[in-house]
Amino acid sequence: MERWKVEKGSSERKIIYEEYAQKHKMKTLNIEAIESKLVDTIFNRKIIYEQVVSSTNIIAKEIALKGYPEGTIVIAETQIAGRGRLGRKWESPSGTGIWLSLILRPDIMPVQAPFITLITALSITKALNEVMGLSPGIKWPNDIIYNNLKVCGILTEMDAQTDKVNFVIVGIGINVNNDLEDFQTDIRYKATSLKEVKGKRVSREKLIIGVLKSFEQIYDKALSCGIDERFKRRILDEYIKYSITIGNRVKVIGIKGEKEGRAVDVTGEGELVIITSDGKEEIINSGEVSVRGINGYI
């Protein structure tokens, strides 16, 4: 596959990640084992699997533009220019986590697309519960949190016209077998991995299968009813059940400054509803802001 031009400093990062994988005798993914469990799902085609990429979202976007179908999955052992929300970078050491992107071509209006992110957060939370017996929470819009630390992030990107979605790329990053030393100092106190939580290595294959099956179940229902109001409310209620943001005081940090309030709801478009200190209702759009708990990250 054609290689992408990567940002400055990424070759150094590639060497660090590869040395890390060798030192820790990291096992690479068994892709056939994953494919064999997905034959009866929308993800029933050959997975695009690479050792090193810039970002799986970038590769997925490029091949989606070339016409690759819905259900195509891109997985990499390392991303040297992994991307997070709000222009942040996403650390992706070799062989440790799940760095994966999905190509979706939902027949929905662009305004409905943020709902795909909610569905993704919900399905990962459910899979962590079903596959690993964990009870994580969702920090709005889409961080999966365990013990107040981030274990998974989602970056959804869309290509659309005014009234039509061409494709959506759902990028999922899960810290699975990372050791604390994998995390750079700026996120070391905000992030954790499933290995740290469970005290032992975790099968990335099992988790990928669990997440994709859980996602498909909800996504399938969403599309078959055109994400109608009843379905939306049901999913939102479930999302809110796992939310660690709703019901709490939050600080919203946006380009126009900061404001505080209480998070009270999530709209069908995936926006956060807060009541500010002076009693006003405000709708917060995830694209522009970062939300923190009053007492720190959560």
Residue 33 CB, nearest approach to ligand BTN (Å): 20
DSSP state of 89: B
Single out the residue of 85, 126, 195, 213 in contact with ligand BTN (rule: CB under 6 A). 85
Identify which of residues 112 and 156 has a Cβ nearer to ligand BTN in the complex: 156
Q: Give the C-alpha distances (Å, rounded to integers) separating 135 from 99, 122, 179, 186.
A: 22, 12, 21, 26
Using CB under 6 A, which residues numbered 103 to 162 contact ligand BTN? 143, 153-155
Identify which of residues 101 and 214 has a Cβ nearer to ligand BTN in the complex: 101
Residue 163 CB, nearest approach to ligand BTN (Å): 27
Distance separating alpha carbons of residues 144 and 165, to the nearest angstrom: 26
155 near 171, Cβ under 8 Å? yes
Single out the residue of 71, 84, 110, 293 in contact with ligand BTN (rule: CB under 6 A). 84
CA quadruple 133, 155, 141, 213: dihedral sign: negative
Single out the residue of 17, 20, 43, 90 in contact with ligand BTN (rule: CB under 6 A). 90
Identify which of residues 138 and 274 has a Cβ nearer to ligand BTN in the complex: 138
174 near 98, Cβ under 8 Å? yes
Window contacting ligand BTN (CB under 6 A); options: 51-59, 63-71, 193-201, 260-268: 51-59
Q: Does 96 bind ligand BTN (CB under 6 A)?
A: no
Single out the residue of 93, 173, 210, 270 in contact with ligand BTN (rule: CB under 6 A). 173
Window contacting ligand BTN (CB under 6 A); options: 7-15, 93-101, 131-139, 282-290: 93-101
Residue labelled with tokens 């600080």:
251
Which residues have a Cβ under 8 Å from the Cβ of 110 and sit 6 or more positions away? Answer: 158, 160, 161, 162, 163, 164, 165
Q: Does 78 bind ligand BTN (CB under 6 A)?
A: no
Q: Does 203 bind ligand BTN (CB under 6 A)?
A: no
Identify which of residues 84 and 137 has a Cβ nearer to ligand BTN in the complex: 84
Single out the residue of 56, 96, 214, 245 in contact with ligand BTN (rule: CB under 6 A). 56
Identify which of residues 150 and 232 has a Cβ nearer to ligand BTN in the complex: 150
DSSP 90-130: ----TTTSEEEEEEE--SS-GGGTHHHHHHHHHHHHHHHHH
Single out the residue of 55, 94, 177, 203 in contact with ligand BTN (rule: CB under 6 A). 55
Q: Is 148 left (phi over 0), alpha (psi -120 to 50) or beta?
A: left
Residue 234 CB, nearest approach to ligand BTN (Å): 25
Which residues have a Cβ under 8 Å from the Cβ of 271 and sit 6 or more positions away? Answer: 114, 283, 284, 285, 286
Please count the residues of this chain forming the interface with ligand BTN, following the rule CB under 6 A.
Answer: 20
Identify which of residues 58 and 232 has a Cβ nearer to ligand BTN in the complex: 58
Where would I find the H helices in the chain?
10-23, 31-36, 56-65, 114-132, 185-188, 194-198, 204-224, 229-242
Identify which of residues 139 and 213 has a Cβ nearer to ligand BTN in the complex: 139
Which residues of the chain form contacts with ligand BTN (CB under 6 A)?
A: 55-57, 79, 82-85, 88, 90, 99-101, 143, 153-155, 171-173
